[in-house]
Amino acid sequence: PAVEFGLDASFDVEYHDAVASTNDRARELATEGAADVVVLADRQTGGRGRRDREWSSPSGGIWASLVLRPDLPPARVPLLTLAAAVAVTDAAREAGVDAAIKWPNDVVVPDETSERGGRKLAGVLTEMEGEASRVSWVVVGMGVNANVDPADLEGEATSVRAEAGDVSRRVFVQRVLERFDDLRADPDGVLDAWRERAATLGQRVRVDLGDETVEGEAVDVTEHGALVVATDDGERVVHSGDCQHLRPA
Ligand code: BTN
């Protein structure tokens, strides 16, 4: 279905029926010097999530990775992850799904009865290479459970199909790319857009950092994409790379 992905966007498109991981393919392109390419696949045979988890990627989902060469210091690269979460949330809402962002980069359908506070619709996996002062390339991978059945996915997941019915993946991807393009042109506006869509802010949360647990009210996100938690002992800033799980407390 390459035609289904005939896009009009400021990204070149590389489409695969099947690939191990669009992030891996995007990394190859990035090291060859590519920029502003989106790698899309109908299915992935080795999809990767955060923290080396597997990411179920059956046919019908949106498995997409952007190759970027942003003019940003490495410390601000997390803004691109937040921008991707905002873009996916907006496209999902347009498709009729009640989507919100769960820190750090999950798009969920909020659900009080779920242990994790929501059923996961999409996730973002950002990888980069560069030096302390300069980014060489960034790959932003987005996995959206679009036209797939939740039974075919791991964990407490949902899909656009389950929430609102099947979507045109071409329209969905087009909206994500347009929105992302607007947001990357205005990195300072990303945080406010993220805050407006965040299910996590204002919630009492328990963040599992592996060797300790931080509990309190999630009050804000920093410009580096870290979560500010007001605990009984004062404010703590938790970084996404350290977070194993975040649950409602
Ligand atoms: C997460 O929530 O753990 C992040 C999931 C990211 C999945 C996407 S699907 C497209 C791209 N290719 C991958 O192998 N992973 C990302």
> Peptide bond preceding 104: is omega within 30 degrees of 0, i.e. cis?
yes
Q: Which pTM does this prediction carry?
A: 0.95
- Mean confidence (pLDDT) of the chain: 93
Name the CATH topology of 204-248: SH3 type barrels. (2.30.30)
Q: pLDDT tens for residues 36-58?
A: 999 999 999 999 999 889 999 99
Half-sphere exposure of 165 (CA within 13 A, CB side): 2
Q: Is the CB of residue 48 below 6 angstroms from any atom belonging to ligand 1?
A: yes
Ligand 1 centroid–CA 99 distance in Å is 18
Q: Which atom of ligand 1 is nearest to the CA of 22?
A: 12
For the chain, give every domain's residue range.
Answer: 2-197, 204-248
Burial grade of 217 (CB within 10 A; 0-12, 13-18, 19 or more): middle
Q: pLDDT tens for residues 113-167?
A: 877 778 999 999 999 998 888 899 999 999 999 999 999 999 889 999 999 999 9
Out of 3.40.50.300, 3.30.70.270, 3.65.10.10, 3.30.930.10, the CATH code matching 2-197 is: 3.30.930.10
Please choose from 40, 48, 158 the residue to mutate so as to test ligand 1's pocket, defined by most ligand atoms within 8 A of CB. 48
Give the integer Cα–Cα distance in Å for 78 and 84. Answer: 10
Task: Note the maximum CA span of the chain.
Answer: 56
